[in-house]
Structure 1
Amino acid sequence: MRKILAACLLILLSFGTLKAQGEAYQFFNAKGKALSFKQVLEALEPADAVFFGELHNNSLGHWLQLQVLKGLHKQNPELVLGSEIFEREDQLNINEWFADQITESSFESEAKLWKNYSTDYRPILRYAKENNLSFIASNVPRKYASLVSKRGLQALDSLYDDAKKSFAKLPVRVDMNLPGYLAMKEMMHGAPGNSDYMIMAQALKDATMAESLFAPLANGKKVYHINGAYHSKDGEGILWYLKQEFPDLKVVNIHTVLQDKLDKLEAGNSQAGEIILVLPKDSHETY
């Protein structure tokens, strides 16, 4: 009998180990407590704005973005969706497609699509269209960010008025001492180019994405924004600019990280967001 019980115990322990190894993802709060997907949605419900800081090329993370979108939409039918992957210049293309004034294929031929759009982002856009959600193309056109990276923010002053509609209102305030920007400068130490200008270009992106969300937030709409994790990490980037305009805004940031093991949140990943999404280091990448 003891041998039988021991064998059963060994099987149960082995099953538990295999189950742990087979987990695809795990959410945690900033204190390192594991959260179920249901608990994540409950934590997001009181927020005025929810940010999903993604790893651009991680397919599993994109699938989870869609699941969060569905959950938030169920909570709030008037949810407004926005994303870094589209520049302000693509807003008309998105509006026309959503209004069935152009076909999806026409939209995709006209818009500046990221190389993994069809696999990672198209399902999110289709869900928004099919459910009549407003979608905001929030990012600055890359040509203007590139200009700033070479010549600084002052280079924007001489642009045509129509061009200035494509980025945050001038002058753009930049706090060069924010930890994220300081870390960026440190990483660029010794690299070619002007590190201050590169930070200004990053700040222009952050400020433009934040400003793109001002109108719906001012009108009491709940916003769900998808962006690279660095743009919202540690409450900086986009979130810093949002807080300048809306000091009392309730924001929840989902920050994505990779770890070898999913059973425990590593200490270095604990403060990057209110909710931390941990994905396996060997999860699928689209590029």
Structure 2
Amino acid sequence: MSLPFPLTKLSCIAAAAFLAGCAVHHSPPDTPPATFYDTRLADASGQPLTTPGLASRLDHADVVVIGELHGHQGAHLLEARLQAALYHRNPDQILALEAFNLDHQAHLDQYLAGKLGEEEMMEDAAAWENYQASYRPLVEFARRHDLPVVAANAPSGVVRCVGREGASYLDTLPETERDALPEQPFPEVPGYRERFMDTLGHSGHGESTEEGKRRLDNTYQAQLLRDSTMADRILEALATHPDHQVLMVAGAFHSEGRQGLVAVLEQQAPELDIRVITPYMPVDDGSLEPLPAIAAGDFRYDLWPLPVRYRDGEREQAAMMERFGRARELTCD
């Protein structure tokens, strides 16, 4: 789940509930990254890696998924450097981005073809507010090297209406819009719903009212729609460009523990070699959260913690409600 502004993983999910070639400067083992821009890479066993070293371990992967913390400079710098390192080992590369919705693929293609300027593309393609700071380096590398760029996310309006109205909302879509979405938009992903609800703070029996349960279920269906759409777009890209490697950049919740879009990909194309890179970030007070689940063959990267967004709970609530109020202007008729 993702929003076009920097948020922690927990606040991103809480918002969804209301919305119905160069090496990185790595730190030695057991020491934090040196600056906000730095990362510390390691494999599943904790063995430190450089960016070129990681790229060499990903040579035979069909899909490389980088889970990110949206707006974290360290994450975005790592993405750009790993993109270049992977390209120099295998120039048959496809860039797929959660930050663009599939209904804006044509606008992204026009920009890559030199038919739109950047500001025009950002406006026409509804680019996230942090596009220039976070995703411009990836798109410009792809444009310079004539690489395909896939707008991988589900249309934001459809996602919000599923979050509001439920899975049946897809039945109301025009045929062309429905056909652009996955045939199976709400797949079963073992353990994913529990993690989603737990992160929302609704573990166990969840909301006590039927309306509350319905809203939570709709929110989860909207999350699944994002995941299944990103997986579907990756498979479409590989069908169009056989023997290419896909670099998929999405919020970490979509791939952590090989759930989300990774689990959907594995269900639909078990023959694919998919590798996941998961961020780990201590909280700002210096305490450590549990390490993310890293499967054998996958990787992690450590980041500086993001600053605390609000110290005043009332101000945080007011800011969130203002954003939700803007979202409620959307109609789903």
The aligned amino acid for 2:302 is: V
Correspondence for 1:203: 224
**Of the two, which has the highest radius of gyration?**
1
The aligned amino acid for 2:305 is: K
**Partner SS, residue 185 of structure 1:** helix
The aligned amino acid for 2:294 is: Q
Partner deviation per Cα, 1:226-277 (whole Å, 9 max, x = no partner): 000000111111111111221121111011121379xxx9763352681001
Q: 1:175 Cα shift?
A: 1.5
Correspondence for 1:180: 192
Q: 1:188 Cα shift?
A: 4.7
Correspondence for 1:227: 250
8 Å Cα contact 2:67/2:249 also seen in 1: yes
Partner deviation per Cα, 1:19-62 (whole Å, 9 max, x = no partner): 97736321111122222222211111111110110000201110
Correspondence for 1:246: 269
Correspondence for 2:67: 53
Are residue 259 (structure 1) and residue 273 (structure 2) matched? no
Correspondence for 1:281: 305
Partner deviation per Cα, 1:155-203 (whole Å, 9 max, x = no partner): 201210122144222x434216x22321212325266562111111100
Are residue 149 (structure 1) and residue 167 (structure 2) matched? no
Correspondence for 1:139: 153
Partner deviation per Cα, 1:113-162 (whole Å, 9 max, x = no partner): 11111111112111111110100001001111111112221220121012
Separation in 2 of the partners of 1:147 and 1:282? Answer: 31
Number of residue equivalences? 264
TM-score (norm 1): 0.84
8 Å Cα contact 2:187/2:264 also seen in 1: no
The aligned amino acid for 1:214 is: L
Correspondence for 2:126: 112
Correspondence for 2:314: none
**Partner SS, residue 222 of structure 2:** helix
Unaligned runs of 5+ in 2: 1-27, 310-333
Are residue 269 (structure 1) and residue 283 (structure 2) matched? no
Separation in 2 of the partners of 1:139 and 1:21? Answer: 31
Separation in 2 of the partners of 1:284 and 1:278? Answer: 18
Partner deviation per Cα, 1:95-123 (whole Å, 9 max, x = no partner): 11111122223212212111111111112
* Structure of higher RCO (CA pairs closer than 8 Å, 6+ residues apart): 1
Tell me the percent identity. 25
Q: 1:41 and 1:266, CA in 2 relative to 1: closer, same or farther beyond 3 A?
A: farther
**Partner SS, residue 55 of structure 2:** helix
8 Å Cα contact 1:184/1:199 also seen in 2: yes
Q: 1:20 and 1:229, CA in 2 relative to 1: closer, same or farther beyond 3 A?
A: closer
Q: What is the root-mean-square deviation of aligned Cα atoms in Å?
A: 2.6
Separation in 1 of the partners of 2:222 and 2:128? Answer: 19
Which deviates more from structure 2 when the two are superposed, residues 150-159 or residues 134-143? 150-159
Q: 1:280 Cα shift?
A: 1.6
Separation in 2 of the partners of 1:102 and 1:159? Answer: 29
8 Å Cα contact 2:40/2:303 also seen in 1: yes
The aligned amino acid for 1:79 is: Q
Correspondence for 1:92: 106
Q: 1:49 and 1:102, CA in 2 relative to 1: closer, same or farther beyond 3 A?
A: same
